[in-house]
């Protein structure tokens, strides 16, 4: 299943017209291989377009694109051994970004307005057994 959505969310009666963190582009797609044999797999992509972090769009986040995948083996009728891989290309991007004032030692008492972010997890994997009922 794949989906593409394009929006142009805007304020009409405020000083800035942009809506903070409103995505203009989200793409999610995947490809699954599940033949009648025991081996199966999939690859998925998730893309968030750049987003304004303040109403006048003078500060924006970067786009985020991640690839995940899985490969598995059917042990019998119900249990499946699965290896899932996340952030396949080890992208150093953020899941979400914010702009606000914060203060580190040595900075002014009022703090410094800056972009703060939550990074995506680095490349990682998970092995598990799935049961179908």
pLDDT at 7: 58
Longest dimension (CA), the chain: 65
Residues 32-47 have pLDDT tens digits of: 998 888 999 999 999 9
> For residue 108, what are the domain limits?
3-131
pTM: predicted TM-score of the whole model, two decimal places: 0.75
CA distance 126 to 85: 7
pLDDT band of 9, cuts 50, 70, 90: low
Q: What is the pLDDT of residues 45-73, one digit of tens each?
A: 999 888 888 877 888 889 999 999 999 99
What distance in Å separates the CA atoms of residue 75 and residue 129, rounded to the nearest whole number?
Answer: 9
* Triad 9, 11, 13: Cα angle to 5°: 160
Confidence at 17, pLDDT banded by 50, 70, 90: low
Cα angle 65, 66, 72 (rounded to 5 degrees) comes to 155
Our count of domains for the chain comes to 1
Q: How far apart are CA 95 and CA 16, in angstroms?
A: 24
């Amino acid at each position: 299943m794949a989906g593409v959505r394009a929006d142009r969310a805007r304020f009409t009666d405020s000083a800035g017209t942009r809506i903070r963190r409103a995505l203009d582009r989200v793409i999610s797609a995947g490809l699954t291989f599940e033949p009648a044999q025991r081996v199966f797999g999939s690859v998925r992509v998730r893309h968030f377009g750049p987003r304004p972090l303040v109403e006048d769009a003078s500060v924006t986040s970067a786009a985020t694109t991640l690839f995940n995948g899985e490969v598995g083996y059917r042990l019998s009728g119900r249990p499946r051994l699965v290896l899932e891989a996340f952030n396949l290309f080890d992208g150093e991007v953020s899941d979400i970004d914010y702009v606000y004032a914060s203060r580190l030692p040595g900075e002014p008492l009022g703090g410094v307005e800056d972009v703060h972010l939550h990074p995506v997890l680095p490349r990682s994997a998970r092995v598990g057994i799935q049961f179908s009922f």
